[in-house]
Each structure stands twice: as C-alpha cells, then as structure tokens.
C-alpha cells in the first residue's frame, strides 16, 4: 500500500490500544508509524494498572506479615522501605517500556517519540516540524486525570505523580470515591499513612453492586481509613512546614501531607488539531465513534480511553485489534462487543464483578433469584482477621441463566476471570451446580450457592 501517502496508518499515541492496532496493521502488511509524546506503553504500563498492581502487592505484605504470626511465624524487625519499592517498580516499568518499543520495532512500526498533530486532510505534523501523510489515522491518545478547580487545587497531585513520591506521606487525603481513590486508599493505608477519602456524593464505586460497596466501606473503616461523604473542597493552602491545610464544605478543616485527586479521567483530545478536519467530539471532549471505532471523518478512527466508551486496557486492546483487522485484514468489519465486560477494583480486599448488579437485574429483568455467600475465609479465621468475603450470584428466574456475579475478598479478580467466561457464555445456575467443588477453596462458594 502507501503509494500516494507516506504511511498506510499513522497512530497517535502508543498506549495499549495504539500499540496493538499498530503492530496488527503492520502484520497485515500496512506501512505504519506511531507517535508518542511521553513513554511507549501508555497509562496502563507507565502510570496505571501495572505499577499500581505492583504497589498493591507491596501493600498486601503489611497484612500478610501480621497474619503470619498466628501461623507460627515470628518476624523480627519488619520495616517498610518506600523508596526501595518505588525504585524497583520503576525499574520494571523501564523494562516493560523497552519491550513495548521492541514489539513495535520487530513489527517494522516506525516510532516518533514526539507529539503529533493533525494539520490537514490525511496530514500529520510532528513536534520536530516534520510533515507526513497517511491513508488512515488512528487517534489513541488515552485520557488524563480530571483536575478539580478551586483555590489551591494546584497543590494536589494525581495518580500520575503518586508513583514517584520522595517519601511516604503521613496523612493523605484522596478526592473521589471510584477505582483510583479506593485502590490508593488501600495502598497508602497498608503502608502506614493515615488516609481520608473525600467524596462529593454518598456512594463509593458507582456501578458496582451495592452489597459489595457497603462491604468495602465497612472493611475500609475497620482498617482505619476515614471517609467524608457529601463533601467538597473549598480551598487548599500550604502550611509553613510544607503540609497542607484543607478547607472543606461538609466536613471540618484538616491538615494533611498530601492531597490526591482521583476524580475520573478526561479524554486527551486537546491540541491534536482534530478541529482542522472537523472531527466530532462529545460532551466530555471524547471522540465520537461508531461500533467500528470510525469517526465522522471516514479515514480517522479512534480507540481506547479517548473515546470514553469503557476506560479499561483490555477493551482498548480489543478495539485496536478489531480496527486493524477490519481495515487492514480481510476487509470484514469487526465491532467490539462491549457487553458483559468483567472488571475489578484492586482495593484491600479487592472487588470483582461481571454482568448485572442486583439492582440492575431487578430493573431490567424483574423476576430474579439472588444467591449470596457471606463467609470468613479459613486463612482469615486462623489469622484472627475479622474480615468477611461476600459472593453474589444473580440469576434470571425464568431461564436459570446467570446474569451477574459479584465478589469481594482475597483473589476475587483472579477467580472472576474464569467465572466471567461462564457468564459471558450464558451458562445457568444448574451448570454451576453440576460442577464439583474444589475443596477447600474460597472459589468453591461459586458452585455451592443454595
């Protein structure tokens, strides 16, 4: 291809969606280039899912080392070294970034490590001033943390900076009640910081099943995390000792060492020249696409967080793959199925879910059966840890089909990945009942619901 254009495909953004789309397009025979202004790998690899999960592992040792005592272990002189963990995590992120770059290079994808902007029809101008043309353009620029706007808001950090802190803050205030807020509340709390979460509404983790959200709140409170609901920010001022004085609407003023915003992520569509070709954006600045990730400009596509469909890495990867298979493969258009996507929150303990919540199922189906198992794991019993897991199964009473599974407890995301196959495949409660338990496990609760 690429006879009248420099490239068949020019991808803007080398994150999860952009990298997958670029290498697959190239494997289909297209001449591909990708531009990345920051680091190859994108949010997930560089400052999202991957380093976060490493911190979650690190944080969990706090409880494991405590629990170990009832299992007969004496651990003397235990001490946590944040700088050591931080640096080890960053070393591995460097390694992964290298691997992503290698993957692109091995697929003959040309990488421009600079910002790119659309400057005309099929035309992209790089920060260096170089102008290139492409038959197709893929925008995969992801999203960035949404910042709140009030006096002193500039003193707050976001998850982007949380991975690079010089030292662990003694007192942390986190704004938001979603994924990042709950995950980092757990991380900082396990490391010994005093954590307080400030949420504008009265609900955590909107979209997740209410029983699980309540359970996470109870357990988080028990672990010592504070919550202020229906509370907003008035002002942050810096104290002489470097800490911050936070004034709130709905709660007393507080002095903390770190304020972190975890208040959603906004699509990265500014400064990309999208208006020069009349690309249509939605209310949140997201690129509007159809089921094939095609925009209103027929040669421009967009995948991943910049489209604000489902802000999850595996979804962006699927969208990137489908785009390249559709456009550069056999010509058969492929839409990504956005239904029944399993998800997890890596809180302490984690939550995992697939399908409808009980509330959704009651509204949409009406006639449902709800199975629930509320149990203390064998490990927690011996450890003397008063922390109960909760598993829920939602079944369409008319068809016996399982329409949702929801879990909070150790390893819930690991267990959910397999259970989600069954829900996606439309299996029934009877299918689960017909499966013999693996004993003793926590997961066996899934086939023992009565």
Q: Which residues bind ligand NDP (CB under 6 A)?
A: 148, 176-181, 183, 199-201, 206, 262-265, 311-312, 343-346
- Is 439 labeled as catalytic in the residue annotation? yes
**CA-to-CA dists, residue 85 to 80, 193, 352, angstroms:** 9, 16, 26
**Smallest distance, ligand NDP to C-beta of residue 64, A:** 21
Residue 379: which H helix or E strand, with range? helix 378-383
Cis-peptide into 24, omega within 30 deg: no
Residue reference for tokens 């068949």: 8
Q: Which two tokens stand for residue 213?
A: 């959200």
Q: Residue 209 in contact with residue 357, Cβ under 8 Å?
A: yes
Work out how close the CB of 384 gets to ligand NDP at its nearest, in angstroms, rounded to a whole number.
Answer: 29
Between 263 and 321, whose beta carbon lies closer to ligand NDP? 263
Smallest separation, CB 449 to ligand NDP (Å): 26
Residue 174 is encoded by which pair of tokens? 């986190």
Which DSSP state fits 294? B
* Closer to ligand NDP by Cβ: residue 111 or 175: 175
> 265 or 406: whose CB is closer to ligand NDP?
265
Alpha helices in 113-246 (DSSP H): 159-162, 179-191, 210-222
Beta partners for 343? 353
Q: What's the longest Cα–Cα distance across the chain?
A: 72
CB-side neighbour CA atoms (13 Å) of 47:
15
Q: How far apart are CA 116 and CA 133, in angstroms?
A: 12
Min dist CB 201 to ligand NDP, Å, is 4
Q: How far is the CB of 104 from ligand NDP (least distance, A)?
A: 24
Q: Which is nearer to ligand NDP, 274 or 315 (CB)?
A: 315
Angle (CA) 198 199 202, round 5° = 135
Both tokens assigned to 189: 């709390």
Q: Which is nearer to ligand NDP, 208 or 432 (CB)?
A: 208
- Residue 242 is encoded by which pair of tokens? 């470097």
Query: Considering beta carbons, is residue 26 or 269 the nearer one to ligand NDP?
Result: 269
In the complex, the smallest distance separating the C-beta of residue 261 from ligand NDP, rounded to whole angstroms, is 8
Which residue is associated with the tokens 């199925």?
337
Residue with Cβ nearer ligand NDP (178 or 329): 178
Residue 424 near residue 409, CB atoms below 8 Å: no
Name the pairing type of β-strands 123-126 and 116-120.
antiparallel
The catalytic residue among 28, 348, 406, 439 is 439
CB of 244 to ligand NDP, least distance (A): 17
Name the residue among 169, 174, 89, 228 with its Cα closest to residue 347.
174
Task: Retrieve residue 115's tokens.
Answer: 């910002």
Query: At residue 103, what are phi and psi to the nearest 5 degrees?
Result: -60, -45
Cβ pair 225, 189 in contact under 8 A: yes
- Provide, rounded to whole angstroms, the least separation between the CB of residue 308 and ligand NDP: 9
**Measured at CB, which residue is nearest to ligand NDP?**
178
Could you identify the residue written with the tokens 């369409």? 396
Return the number of the residue (24 or 345) whose C-beta is nearest ligand NDP. Answer: 345
Point out the residues that are catalytic: 439
């Amino acid at each position: 291809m690429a006879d009248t254009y420099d490239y068949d495909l020019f991808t803007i953004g080398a994150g999860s969606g952009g990298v997958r789309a670029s290498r697959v397009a190239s494997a289909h025979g297209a001449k591909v280039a990708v531009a990345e202004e920051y680091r190859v790998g994108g949010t997930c690899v560089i400052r999202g899912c991957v380093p976060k999960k490493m911190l979650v592992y690190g944080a969990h040792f706090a409880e494991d080392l405590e629990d170990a005592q009832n299992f007969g272990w004496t651990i003397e002189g235990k001490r946590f070294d944040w700088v050591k963990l931080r640096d080890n995590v960053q070393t591995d992120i460097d390694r992964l970034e290298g691997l992503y770059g290698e993957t692109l290079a091995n697929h003959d994808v040309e990488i421009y490590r600079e910002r790119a902007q659309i400057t005309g029809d099929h035309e992209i101008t790089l920060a260096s001033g170089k102008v290139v043309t492409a038959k197709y353009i893929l925008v995969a620029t992801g999203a960035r943390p949404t910042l709140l706007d009030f006096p002193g808001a500039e003193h707050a950090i976001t998850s982007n900076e949380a991975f690079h802190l010089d030292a662990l803050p003694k007192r942390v205030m986190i704004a938001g009640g979603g994924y990042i807020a709950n995950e980092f509340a757990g991380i900082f709390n396990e490391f010994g910081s005093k954590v307080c979460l400030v949420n504008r509404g009265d609900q955590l983790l909107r979209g997740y099943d209410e029983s699980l959200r309540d359970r996470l709140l109870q357990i988080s409170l028990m672990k010592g995390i504070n919550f202020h609901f229906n509370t907003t920010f008035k002002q942050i001022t810096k104290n002489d000792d470097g800490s911050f004085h936070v004034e709130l609407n709905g709660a007393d003023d507080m002095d903390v060492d770190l304020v972190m915003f975890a208040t959603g992520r906004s699509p990265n569509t500014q400064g990309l020249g999208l208006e020069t070709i009349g690309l249509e954006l939605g209310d949140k600045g997201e690129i509007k696409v159809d089921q094939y990730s095609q925009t209103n400009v027929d040669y421009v596509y967009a995948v991943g967080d910049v489209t604000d469909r489902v802000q999850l890495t595996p979804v962006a990867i699927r969208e990137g793959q489908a785009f390249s298979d559709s456009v550069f493969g056999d010509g058969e258009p492929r839409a990504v199925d956005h239904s029944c996507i399993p998800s997890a929150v890596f809180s302490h303990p984690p939550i995992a879910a697939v399908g409808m919540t009980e509330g959704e199922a009651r509204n949409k189906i009406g006639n449902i059966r709800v199975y629930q198992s509320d149990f203390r794991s064998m490990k927690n019993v011996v450890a003397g840890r008063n922390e109960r897991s909760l598993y829920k199964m939602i079944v369409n009473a008319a068809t016996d089909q399982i329409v949702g599974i929801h879990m909070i407890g150790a390893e819930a995301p690991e267990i959910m990945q397999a259970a989600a196959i069954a829900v996606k495949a439309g299996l029934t409660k009877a299918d689960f009942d017909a499966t013999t338990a693996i004993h003793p496990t926590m997961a066996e609760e899934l086939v023992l619901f009565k």
